[in-house]
Amino acid sequence: MTQVQGYFDPRFETVRDLFAQQQSDPQARGAALCVTVGGDTVLDLWHGVMDRDNSRVWEQDTLVNVFSCTKPIGAVALLQQVQAGRIGLDDPVADVWPEFAQAGKQQITFRQLLSHRSGLSAISQPLAPEALFDWQAMTAALEAQEPWWQPGDQHGYAPLTYAWLLGEPLRRLTGQMPGDYLREQIFQPLGMDFHVGVADADLQRIASVSRLRNQFGDEYARALFSAMGDPAGLAFKAFANPSSLQNSTNKPEWQQAHILSANGTGNARSLARFWQVLAHEGKIDGVQLLDAELVQLMHREHSAGMDLTLHCPTRFGLGVMLEQQWQGGSFGMGENAFGHPGAGGALGFADPDAGVGFGYVTNTMGPYVLTDPRAGELSRETYRCLRELY
């Protein structure tokens, strides 16, 4: 196995050692970690291999699917439309997307979409596998879908449908496909090597993703997997309709689609950069993503309690998860941290009190619903180092 590569501030050497220790696991393949504190990068590490044959070393510019870590980026893009005055958070979505006003959805607002309160966490009618990559098919299915509960009354995570619930209004407001808008308005201004819709030239840089064997997660992960055994239930529909969601991760069709709920492709450095900006109220180094007031609103609690999709308690702001009230959902830092995990282990978050931007990615997927223990251990050790320094 290769040695850990990259940079670390000596004051955070124990984090680097922990990262190396994690990579000594026989099942570990590749991973990267980046942490910023204030305006400085204190850790920028990578290690391992990027292909199934263990023949290609993980490089400084290796990319990997970070799954739901993509969601807050899409949320920022929609909030930029609020900032520009094109929409209001409490406006009906149907004002922008008239076809959406069917099946009891006439009054659903952008705020409800962003905070997972719309009742549209899944599509109930079975969809063909190829529908996942057909923008019109997915938007048409959401137009026809009845909410699973009275919008606004409860909340349930939308693992996949979030892509079109946010993406179709964004497309209509900007005249661009979501990935193109993100590239021009977020990725390029921030210098992020991140993609929603990877160009042909960059496909070769993407690490192949595989799952850890004989790993079953915590009680909440097991409860979710049990719920997914009911083909008519919300959890099954949310994570397996279309069925291609379960087996497309390493396919070019997935990597090049505009699924801003789940197929963002990037690295730890880019995640940390994104969260570095939000840790500083939306502006750093002369680049502003959002007004400070919108950033504060973004991480104000909008949903809390038992999640109807995930079968565990969750807390959401607007497009972001908040620090949870149980260990398996903790970001591992302060009580005001906010961000988002990605399926299988990726994690990006900001701690505005500590001034931290955090990014962790891996191509070895674990089974946890929220914060993967590997990422959690690294963030907690980073926080311990910070407390010793300050």
Give the angle subtended at the CA of 271 by the CAs of 268 and 274, to the nearest 5°: 150
226 SS3 class: helix
| 5-73+180-389 CATH fold | Beta-lactamase (3.40.710)
22 SS3 class: helix
What is the Cα–Cα distance from 81 to 182, expressed in whole angstroms? 12
Helices 162-174 and 71-83 pack at an angle, to 10 degrees, of 40
Q: Any idea where the domains of the chain sit in the sequence? A: 5-73+180-389
153: left (phi over 0), alpha (psi -120 to 50) or beta: alpha
Helix extents (H) in 188-267: 188-190, 219-227, 234-240, 252-255
Total-model pTM: 0.97
Q: What secondary structure letter does DSSP report for 57?
A: B
- For residue 381, the tally of other CB atoms under 10 A from its CB is 18
Tokens of 387: 């407390």
What is the Cα–Cα distance from 198 to 6, expressed in whole angstroms? 25
**Beta strand segments in the chain, E:** 5-8, 30-37, 40-48, 64-67, 210-211, 264-266, 283-284, 287-288, 303-306, 313-316, 321-322, 338-341, 347-351, 356-362, 364-365
Nearest partner of 104 among 168, 148, 153, judged by Cα: 148
Give the pLDDT score at 2.
65
pLDDT digits (tens, 9 = 90+) for 156-189: 999 999 999 999 999 999 999 999 999 999 999 9
Nearest partner of 185 among 39, 299, 81, 97, judged by Cα: 81
Peptide bond into 242 cis (omega under 30): yes
Yes or no: say if 362 and 345 are a contact pair by the CB < 8 Å rule.
yes
Task: Tell me the helix, strand and coil percentages in the chain, rounded to 5.
Answer: 40, 20, 45
pLDDT of the chain along its 390 residues, tens only? 468 999 999 999 999 999 999 998 888 999 999 999 999 999 999 999 999 888 899 999 999 999 999 999 999 999 999 999 999 999 999 999 999 999 999 999 999 999 999 999 999 999 999 999 999 999 999 999 999 999 999 999 999 999 999 999 999 999 999 999 999 999 999 999 999 999 999 999 999 999 988 888 888 899 999 999 999 999 999 999 999 999 999 999 999 999 999 999 999 999 999 999 999 999 988 889 999 999 999 999 999 999 999 999 999 999 999 999 887 889 999 999 999 999 989 999 999 999 999 999 999 999 998 999 999 999 999 999 999 987
